[in-house]
Structure 1
Amino acid sequence: MHCFFGLKPVVSISELMKIVKAKSSKYINDHALTKQRFEWQEGYGVFSYSQRDVDIIFRYVQNQQEHHQHKTFREEYLELLEKFKISYDTQYIFHELK
């Protein structure tokens, strides 16, 4: 899942993600949108972009379903980690469901 937020510097990303995950999980489970109880995986990735890129990123998020027909989310996530020169340990990278 991709989320695109505009945040003020005083907003804690970890607190924001805690709220997003909690409220969305409750909504999904309260409305039985999945066959099994829904739970988010641990962790998340956050990338920042400049104001000039907002339109490009917004369009990308709008079209993520189409985009991921050609590249898995995991593949793309690893590419972003490389692009932003973020070091990582593969044991902490999620595994896609089959």
Structure 2
Amino acid sequence: MSTYHCIHFHIIFSTKHRKPWIDDAWVHQFHAYLGGTLKGLEAVPLKIGGVSDHVDMLVGCKTTHCPADLVRETKSAATLWVHKEIKFAPFAWQEGYAIFSLSPDACPGVAKYIEHQAAHHHKKSSLDELKELLAKAGVQYDPKYLE
């Protein structure tokens, strides 16, 4: 018998100190690069979005993926891309990330949520929204690590 799986994650990571460093002028190229990085890691980028201070990704994974490695490699590649292509040396990511496992029926809603990030964050900051997502998932956290 073959191995069958359906593993999806909603992954969120923020710029260092939540600085608004991701610019509208290059955000689409940036998201495409993130998608290419995930494909290179043999993951499936289902939806990538975000606003100036963070990235949201809906990712399909294999059973052999280690989520921490996937996020570390993606963040590292993205940083190098910004430094090389955009020539913005201060760009860096905040340490850590948020990751939520998803059931297959939750994926379309999360994809829609990611697609409409700009609208969400006109009403609520990304930090407040992250706190809500963490609370909804029952994840305890120390607020000092969110800033």
TM range (shorter): 0.7 to 0.9
Residue 17 of structure 1 corresponds to: 71
Task: Determine if the alignment matches structure 1 residue 43 to structure 2 residue 109.
Answer: no
Q: 2:122 and 2:135 mapped to 1: Cα distance?
A: 21
* Partner AA of 1:37 in structure 2: P
- Higher strand proportion: 2
Q: 1:56 and 1:69 mapped to 2: Cα distance?
A: 19
Identity of aligned residues (%): 28
- 3-state DSSP class of the match of 2:56? coil
| Structure with more relative contact order (C-alpha pairs < 8 Å, separation 6 or more) | 2
C-alpha displacement of 1:33? 5.8
Unaligned segments of structure 2, at least 5 residues? 1-54
- 3-state DSSP class of the match of 1:38? coil
Task: Determine if the alignment matches structure 1 residue 30 to structure 2 residue 84.
Answer: yes
User: TM-score, normalised to structure 2's length?
Assistant: 0.59
The alignment yields a C-alpha RMSD, in angstroms, of 1.3
User: TM-score, normalised to structure 1's length?
Assistant: 0.86
Task: Determine if the alignment matches structure 1 residue 54 to structure 2 residue 88.
Answer: no
Task: Determine if the alignment matches structure 1 residue 7 to structure 2 residue 66.
Answer: no
CA deviation digits over 1:45-94, x for unaligned, max 9? 0011110111111111111122111111100111111111111111212x
Q: Please, which of 69, 92, 95 is the counterpart of residue 145 of structure 2?
A: 92
Residue 131 of structure 2 corresponds to: 78
Q: Say how many residue pairs are matched.
A: 93
Q: 2:109 and 2:139 mapped to 1: Cα distance?
A: 22
